[in-house]
Chains A and B, each alone.
Chain A
Amino acid sequence: MASTPPEAPPEAPPEVRPETRPGPRAEACAVFGIALIAYLVIARWAIVDHNLVMGDAISRLGNATYALDSRYAHLSAIGFVWGPIPTLTMLPTMAVGLVPHTSWFVPSVSSCVFMAASVAVVNGIGRGWGLTRAWRLATTLFFATNPMIVFYAVNGMSEAYFILFLLLAANRLSAWIVDDRSGDLALAGLWLGFGYLVRYEALAAAGAAAGMVALVGGWHTWMEHADERDLRERGKHVSGRVGLDVAVLVMPVVTAVAAFALVSWIVTGQAFAQFSSTYGNSSVIQATAPAATGLSALRFSIGELAGAGPLALPLVCLAALWLDKERRSRALGLVGVFGGVLALTALLQVTGKTLPFLRFWIAAIPLEVLLLGLLAAQWAQRPRRAHRLQSLRAVAAVGGLVALVAATFSITWSAMTNTIYGVQEHQIATVVEPWRDRFDERQTLAQFTAERRLAAYLDALRLPAGSVLVDVLDGFPVVAASRDPRQFVIPSDFDFAQALSDPVHYGVRYLLTVPDAGRGANDALNMAFPGVYDNGLPGSRLLLQVDSGDLFPDWRLYRLASSR
């Protein structure tokens, strides 16, 4: 029983010469490298030169500082209010020490890496869909140079991580809809699980994806058993298959939720701090201005969607009408993952349960880029006929595309620089157009100056460990800007409650306080010692007062009476 030799592989067609074209690895690496360098350069210009920092990113940097450099450095100090992944990725950068964390460049390093990875993934998806090199690079560039993408690549916020995991999950889900492979379904679930550990909106993506999996799988199984007369039997086949498919998709997400909640509960006593804690969502919303609801909120949401991703809805319609069956299935996967997140944002904004931020709509951008890629792939496959004016048509097509991209970017840019829609972004307008005379934007670009000066002042005093009592609700920039975080007594320290109950006895020398209004009402010092901002503690004296204007908290530094 001799074995038959395997057939020789078919010859490659003559026009493809594999030795001369760079392989997929090389191209992906090149795209990643170029995007990373570009983003890092822009980040340095934005963060270090123009202080274009975002509060949430610095707050996460603070968390990383508590975990690594504080008086009681421990990993669970990264906090359980937000997903742990962004903060965790900052730890290696800080530990290695190449970037001084007082420069506040550390969060940007991580977000640049993840957004550059997203760019490489977009490129890889295009390759998987059969786009030619020109189209691939065009769509990759369309994604990478989008003003909102650039901004969120450089500012250290969690959007970069979220987009990466959503892209990976959407790609796998699309692939599964077409070729029904268990591996794709499992990986989609795993990426969504990671996405949850960045932002909880991933649950919406997971829910929408599960619905899609149930519908698609259920439909296929129903048709597979078309010759089964007994409807109940047929239904049993469908429910069995759908149950398994949804289980494979959903298990990683459920595990991520349960594991994070369990660890959070063990460490802090609260399982879902994202929603319930004083640092979390609902508390912040209550303390800041109440959001609009109902019809005006819906109008606002539509405006934000049109600003972030003006092409998103039109391309969804075009894809539904024009794409062939296989590409339409892929588009369905994309709409499931990204659309799920967008739908949740709309729901929460309309019911007033979340903040009116443009960045919550950022998922529209990868959606429109990938849909454009699918449409381009189909358009590139159409039968070509020699035409007298072919080169003219090509130029017109390219011109049209460039015009489209320019229009899209200008719409997004104007949304970002609009004070109503780009609530958190519009200060970038003053950076780019310094003659723009808006006081609030200049103030925003000067934010955290007070906290940095406080940190420098305290550093210069060369205090021993545990000298300054402060709550990180508003005090995180001070700790994050200090060269010696050990001088602070912060909530993540095991003895914070003891120090708070009797600061003088505990060896605390200074109190750093904020006014008892707005977010400051939840400040631990204000809650423990009512009126401490106005009067300090008995026997203390006011050392420093900082007036930060309307947008940012004022500070008072009190020196406590001591035995020395």
Chain B
Amino acid sequence: MTGEAPEAAQDRPAPTEEEQRWLDEAVNGLRRERPDMSSSVVLTTRQRYGLIVVLVVLIPLALAFRNDTAVVLLAGLNVAYAIVVAYRVFLVTRVLRPSPPESGMRAGMHHITDEEARAVPDEDLPIYTVLLPAYNEPGIMSRLVSGVGAMEYPRDKLDVQLLLEADDVTTVAAAEATGAAAFARVVLVPPAEPRTKPKACNYGLQQARGELTTIYDAEDRPDPLQLRRAVVAFGRVGEDVACLQARLSYHNADQNLLTKWFAIEYETWFGFLLPGLSSVGAPLPLGGTSNHLRTDVLRRLHGWDPFNVTEDADLGMRLARSGYHSEVLDSVTLEEANSDPINWARQRSRWNKGYLVTALVQLRHPVRLARELGAKALVSLILTVLATPVMSLLNPVAWLLSLGWWTGTMPFIASIFPGWLVYLSLLNLFVGNFANVYVDVVALRQLRRPGLLWACLAMPLYWVLMAVGTGKAFVQLITAPSYWEKTAHGLDAA
């Protein structure tokens, strides 16, 4: 920090009229124009009544016909689990098919070589807006220069906006001190609720000059040629591809067991499952950063949803509903994996809460959703966005039930497991869990990450952790759906 005293609140100039307009559009744009797509209200009145009706019908049934209800629920759970696992395996088989070399695709991702990326002359490159939202992270500012600041793209074609809350004086000062201002424009977002990353990004979007837009976290280390690769890839695809998601990975994967698990999850998700989803034309739940978007499309959709804590996944769904596709770019952005279990649990609960909110919002008008997405994409939405948090929570419940059945100590459990259900559940237990771990092992083999193999074989323990995070998510869904649990960064201090 420099020796200058931070500005006092009353010394700051009041936002101009233009800034007020931008702020209003950032916070209220989506909510005003498309309230049915906004997460500012999680459950509409209709959904609330629907939920009450279901509970009113289900609870007396459950009490009256305890065993039968349990059997039906367990059978349904088994079938749902089997379908989710089968879908995952299906996506992976799509990605493992060989692609013809002239398609520029490799394993379902757009593969641009270094030569192809550098072959585009600087004059032909479009202006690129890079949004860097940050809040209360003064210590991270120093990483900006070596991370995003090291990207290979002509300076005059870059529109880098460092989006900071105007009253976050420590971060503002740190940004100025570390020389981030050399390549980034510090944009002060006027203070307003909700204090979320998507709101800040929307604010930056109002002033964006670029034809293409992307987001990075302040401490990200993207592949220096990523912007160029995105430009080349956008040149190869049709106008209906509005987003290219780059692969996220972790630079501190080897720090501890938790970071290894996290890295495996990311490798499989970005290297296998997302390319698989894009190959079947399904809506992609986008990652938190490195989504390269066409600015005009983004504006038309009113940017991100400031009330949704997983605004990236939500944007992916809204893109698909408007007829756009997202695909995967074979370029890696290195992030920092959460190495502390408590911090990790907070992040995970936010993600699961966001997925649940996204699913609830998108499913508000199911008929319209089906018409906009098509049946296959709708099923995919359910199997990815809705199933992830639900299955994650039900997994340990299933394990506990299995344990109870096996030890034979609780006759109630034996009574709700008729013979056929035992075999079905055993099949799911072995085949399903095996398939989940095996997909990760094959992903590690495909993506050449030998150091993560042993951690991968212990993945079931990771799922226990995930269930804890999901439990918290369900609770927060009711109590504080838009509360953004801030992830602490800089825990990889080494």
Contact = CB atoms under 8 A, between A and B. Distances in A.
B434 A255 contact: yes
Contacts of A183: 93, 96-97
A241 B449 CA distance: 9
Contacts of B434: 251-252, 255, 259
Residue among B235, B423, B446, B448 with the highest chain A CB neighbour number at 10 A: B446
A239 B453 CA distance: 12
Contacts of A245: 445
B102 A7 contact: yes
B234 interface: yes
A342 B445 CA distance: 30
Interface residues of A, number: 26
B460 to A, nearest CB: 13
A182 B419 CA distance: 37
Given A4-B235, A259-B430, A263-B426, A248 B445 contact: yes
A74 B419 CA distance: 8
A251 B437 CA distance: 10
B445 A182 contact: yes
B126 A1 contact: yes
Interface in A73-122: 74-75
Contact of A4 (B97, B236, B406, B451): B236
Contacts of A456: none
A243 interface: yes
A186 B437 CA distance: 13
Interface in B351-392: none
Interface residues of B, number: 30
B235 A1 contact: yes
A20 interface: no
B393 interface: no
Contacts of A244: 441, 444-445, 448, 450, 453
Interface string A1-42: 111100100000000000000000000000000000000000
A508 B286 CA distance: 68
A186 B442 contact: yes
- Which label, helix, strand, loop or mixed, suits the secondary structure of the A interface? helix
Interface string B108-132: 0000000000000000001000000
A239 B234 CA distance: 39
A270 B238 CA distance: 61
B198 to A, nearest CB: 26
A211 interface: no
Contacts of A460: none
B49 interface: no
- Which label, helix, strand, loop or mixed, suits the secondary structure of the B interface? helix
A248 B442 contact: yes
Nearest to B430: A259
A247 interface: yes
A88 B102 CA distance: 46
Contact of A247 (B98, B234, B441): B441
B59 interface: no
A399 interface: no
Contacts of A7: 102
Given A1-B126, A248-B442, A263-B426, A241 B448 contact: yes
Nearest to B439: A186
Interface in A237-295: 239-241, 243-245, 247-248, 251-252, 255, 259, 263, 266
Contacts of A240: 450-451
Contacts of A243: 450, 453
Interface in B44-98: 93, 96-98
Contacts of A74: 419
A188 interface: no
A185 B96 contact: no
A181 interface: yes
B4 interface: no
B193 interface: no
Nearest to B438: A251
B458 interface: no
Interface in A202-247: 239-241, 243-245, 247
A182 B239 contact: no
B237 interface: yes
Contacts of B93: 183
Interface in A392-437: none
Contact of B96 (A2, A4, A181, A266): A181
Given A181-B98, A182-B96, A241-B450, A3 B239 contact: yes
A75 B425 CA distance: 14
A186 B93 CA distance: 10
Nearest to A255: B434
Interface in B192-244: 211, 234-239
Contact of B438 (A1, A3, A252, A266): A252
Interface in B442-490: 442, 444-446, 448, 450-451, 453
Contacts of B98: 181
A255 B430 contact: yes
A248 B440 CA distance: 10
A252 B438 CA distance: 8
B236 A3 contact: yes
A1 B231 CA distance: 9
Contacts of A181: 96, 98
A126 to B, nearest CB: 21
A4 B103 CA distance: 12
Contacts of B426: 263
A185 B445 contact: yes
Nearest to A184: B96
Interface in B387-431: 406, 419, 423, 426, 430
Contacts of B234: 1
Contacts of A4: 235-236
Contacts of A75: 419, 423
Contact of B238 (A3, A239, A251, A266): A3
B445 to A, nearest CB: 4
B236 A247 contact: no
Interface in A490-522: none
A252 B406 CA distance: 24
Interface string B7-39: 000000000000000000000000000000000
A248 B438 CA distance: 8
A259 B437 CA distance: 15
B450 A182 contact: no
Contacts of B450: 239-241, 243-244
A538 B396 CA distance: 56
A248 B441 contact: yes
Contacts of A263: 426
B406 to A, nearest CB: 7
A143 B471 CA distance: 58
A248 B234 CA distance: 35
Nearest to A3: B238
A182 B451 CA distance: 18
Nearest to A190: B438
Contacts of A3: 235-239
A182 to B, nearest CB: 5
A40 B235 CA distance: 59
B446 A182 contact: yes
A325 to B, nearest CB: 21
The 10 closest A-B pairs by CB, nearest first: A240-B450, A183-B96, A244-B445, A259-B430, A182-B446, A255-B434, A3-B238, A248-B445, A244-B450, A186-B442
Given A1-B234, A181-B96, A186-B442, 20 more contacts: A1-B126, A1-B235, A3-B235, A3-B239, A4-B235, A182-B96, A182-B446, A186-B438, A239-B450, A241-B448, A241-B450, A244-B445, A244-B450, A245-B445, A248-B441, A248-B442, A251-B437, A252-B438, A259-B430, A259-B434
Interface of A: 1-4, 7, 74-75, 181-183, 185-186, 239-241, 243-245, 247-248, 251-252, 255, 259, 263, 266
19 contacts: A1-B211, A3-B236, A3-B239, A7-B102, A74-B419, A75-B419, A75-B423, A182-B96, A182-B442, A186-B442, A240-B450, A244-B444, A244-B453, A245-B445, A247-B441, A248-B441, A248-B442, A251-B434, A255-B434
